[in-house]
Structure 1
Amino acid sequence: MDTITRRRFLLASGVAGAAALAAGATAYTLDDILATSGDRDEASKTLVLVTLYGGNDGLNTVIPYADPAYHAARPGMNYDPGAILRLDEEFGFNPGLTGLHRLYQEQRLAVVHGVGYPRPNRSHFQSMDIWQTAQPDRPGTTGWLGRWLDSVGSDPRLAVSFEPALPPLLAGATSAGATVPGGELALPGGVTTAMLGQLARSEPGASPALARAAACFADLTRVQDMMRQLDEGLGEDETDDGEPPAATATGGAATSLDQQLALVARCIEGGAATRVYSVSLGGFDLHADGKESQQDLLARLDEPLAAFADRMAGKGVVTAVYSEFGRRVRANASDGTDHGTASHVFLLGDGVRGGRYGEPPSLIDLDDGDLKHTVDFRDVYATLLAEVLGSDPARSLDGWTGRLDGIFD
């Protein structure tokens, strides 16, 4: 079985991207991550990245309720001022964000307005590639946190994803993060367990690339045991609410966000050496009847995220929440919204100064019906690299030197 065939199988199975495979990405168990306990500098901080797949509607998340242009653009799906959770006299949170509203009032959550990049792309996959590689002009094959991993060591457990596949953002040029996937292992049609075992055998004299591919298949045979381990490890208060997985064609983990964050919390409390965790929630591509559906999804983000923030208080954890783009300002004829551009990023955790940052984009001075970004997402990344990971941002961001001012103590 040649390397190309193995690679195609991995891509079809959703286990690892080509860049991660080339860098040597592999699957780990929870015990593998916890085994690094004691290897961590106690003064180091932890970054948790929450990806909202599908393009979350920023205007109905942080709502400009005092702006007449908002109400005029969305007559069938705007929020009345009395229904929102007010932040101040201009903006309020979606009613589904009660926990994050509390954190904002406690000055523990920062809202960064107007985050985007030049010449925005409205394709889910291309825009997510841009966000995860931090290369707007020409997305490469390495992620911005994968390049950070290249600079700090080769142990994949320094950057861990609890998603079904290692996201491109954790794939570097010479190393890649670890994935502890959730959900079920679904084999492509016609592929049997016996065939999987054959793929996992490394042949004598095989090239390093072929041997790495075989190792990935050996890891696949452990995935079912991994899933049982994760399910058994969750306590009653950490289990899913019975809702179906939130993943869609535009991404999102197979396990629920509360399960993912519960595992992150366990690793942090267990002293794991991991500095970066990646989790996700999908389903935000709401082209029709978007108001109620988005509010439900935001509630599924809000409850576990607020609980996680409370549990991690004082442990040096910073969480960032983003999506590949926002939505267009004007609602469509189906009371939904189509692919847009700039949106908000949430930052919360130790050292974060709560409040609103960045200039809110104008709702009338638009770029072909879309918001003009006022903050480059590389400014956000650079600030996280410097303030949370203690790294020189220019090394991971192709020389980028911008920062967000005043958002960290």
Structure 2
Amino acid sequence: MTRFNRRQFLVGSSVLGALGLAAGSVITWEEVHRHAAAAPLAPGTGILVLVTMYGGNDGINTVIPYADNAYHDARPELSYQPQEVLHLDGQLGLNPAMKGFADLWGGHNLAIVRGVGYPHPDHSHFRSMDIWQTAAPDRPVNAGWIGRWLDATGDDPVRAVNIGPVLPQLAIGEKHTAAALDPASAPLSPELSAASAALAATDPRDSPAQTLVCAGYHAEQAVTQTFSSIGAKPAAPGGNPLAAQLALVGQCIKADVPTQVYSVSLGGFDTHADERRTQQQLLGRLDEAVSAFLTDMAGHPRGRDVVLMAYSEFGRRVAANASQGTDHGTAGPVFVAGARVKGGFYGDEPSLTDLDNGDLKTTVDFRDIYSELLHRVVATDPGPAVGTSRHDLGLIV
């Protein structure tokens, strides 16, 4: 094998993204421990876990207005009867698949923010998710809201971690990105690990492009030291991919990994047909995964530090379509859960009859939720990420 030194490699390196350096450090499950041992997360530091439900979850059949005749009239075959739902009060109930969420509600550790959206809603999955993940409804921007927090607060590559090899837009900043922890990746061999360490070393003769490559390798080294051998790789309980992701997050938290924001996801919520069966199955996976994670955290000293938010890019239209599904809508519920959460309803329940061309009217701007989570959980100034005109809803005690 031909040998070459660091400078020869850097001079010949014209594609910075070849190893993911332009889009954040990709890390493996076997790389999770040394940095945690050297610089553990300080006790009492808030930890935010973001759960993205891709596809546009039908919020009306998630937090169900079972006592509203307009609900049953709009969905004569798709609606749930009062005896089927998990009652939260005399008007609203949870989907029958969400028994764990109902328990969280009963323990006052679940906040349900109703009617969440943004001005001038977009029915495109791609544009609406881009808006939610960048927190910029008025114009397309490159940086996500967590990415802007990273840009504003330093260059530690493990302050935010996405579980999975592809970073969501929310985790990408202009200068810094979250790390991507891919449980399926194989660890670097000792030879490649040593070579990576050598390539991370700086040299005063480096050009700006070479310095950027070295910075990427330096970030990879920091990530490798952080995420090295926490323990055995968790399997997906019952084939539930979200449960596996959250189990991995839980192990990272227990190991005192210095990460304040984790991102996980569950897809499949685009229920244009056969919605009841599909959505109930997906909400069951969400419920199983979140409930198991928060129960596990409740038995650990770090449990008090953890707050989880679950959201989707939009809700669905009020009326069912001809395929026993629903089409792209606007506002929907956001769930915030954890020991520090002040349980209850927040935001006004959208009317099912006073509609905007068949869609629910937004009653809460999603950026207010983001702002409070950054302020109260991450303990940072939310301004650089979501702007200065936001206000707390009182979700976090």
Give me the TM-score of the superposition, normalised by structure 2.
Answer: 0.83
1-structure distance, mates of 2:133, 2:267: 16
Q: Using the alignment, how far apart are the partners of 2:138 and 2:255 within structure 1?
A: 40
- For 1:304-345, what per-residue CA distance to the aligned partner results, in whole angstroms no more than 9, with x for missing partners? 110111111233100000001011111100000111110010
Equivalent residue letter for 2:324: D
Local SS of the residue matching 1:156 = coil
Larger Rg: 2
Tell me what 1:306 maps to.
291
Q: Is the 8 A contact 1:264 1:277 kept in 2?
A: yes
2:233 maps to a residue whose letter is: G
Q: TM-score, normalised by structure 1?
A: 0.81
Distance in 1 between residues matched to 2:212 and 2:382, nearest whole Å: 34
RMSD: 2.9
Unaligned runs of at least 5 residues, structure 2: 1-11, 187-198
Cα distance between partner residues in 1 of 2:183 and 2:329: 30
Distance 1:351 1:207 in 2: 45
Consecutive unaligned residues of structure 1, counting only runs of 5 or more, are: 11-15, 186-200, 244-255
Structure 1 residues 338 and 213: alpha-carbon distance in aligned structure 2, compared to 1, 3 A threshold:
farther
Cα distance in 1 for partners of 2:210, 2:106 equals 52
Contact 2:29 2:233 in 1 (8 A): no
* Distance 1:146-1:33 versus aligned 2 partners, 3 A rule: farther
Pairing 1:408–2:396 present: yes
- 2:186 counterpart of 1:181: no
Matches of 1:268 and 1:231, distance apart in 2: 12
Q: Secondary structure of 1:338's match? A: coil
Contact kept? 1:116, 1:343, Cα under 8 Å: yes
CA contact (8 A) 2:230 2:252 kept: no
1:86-144 deviation per Cα after TM superposition (whole angstroms, max 9, x unaligned): 00000000000011111101111010000000011111111111000000001311111
**Cα shift at 1:160:** 0.2
The residue aligned with 1:251 is none
- In 1, Cα distance between equivalents of 2:249 and 2:239: 21
User: For residue 246 of structure 1, what is the aligned residue in structure 2?
Assistant: none
Answering whether residue 344 of structure 2 is matched by residue 361 of structure 1, we say no
- Give the conservation status (yes or no) of the 8 Å contact 1:33–1:274: no
Q: Distance in 1 between matches of 2:249 and 2:273?
A: 34
Question: Who is 2:194 aligned against?
Answer: none
**Corresponding letter in the other structure for 1:373:** T
Q: Give the 3-state SS of the residue equivalent to 2:325 in structure 1.
A: coil
For residue 245 of structure 2, the aligned residue among 249, 252, 260 is: 260
Letter matched to residue 74 of structure 2:
A
Identity of matched residues, %: 48
State the number of aligned residues: 360
The equivalent residue for 1:347 is 336
Match of 2:26 in 1: 27
Match of 1:241 among 223, 238, 242: 238
- Paired residue secondary structure (1:305): helix
Q: Deviations over 1:19-38 (max 9, x none)?
A: xx64x511113354432344
Please report how far the alpha carbon of residue 396 of structure 1 lies from its aligned counterpart in structure 2 after TM superposition.
Answer: 1.5
Offset of residue 6 of structure 1: 7.1
How many Å apart are 1:209 and its aligned residue? 7.5
User: Is the 2:32–2:230 Cα contact (8 Å) retained in structure 1?
Assistant: no
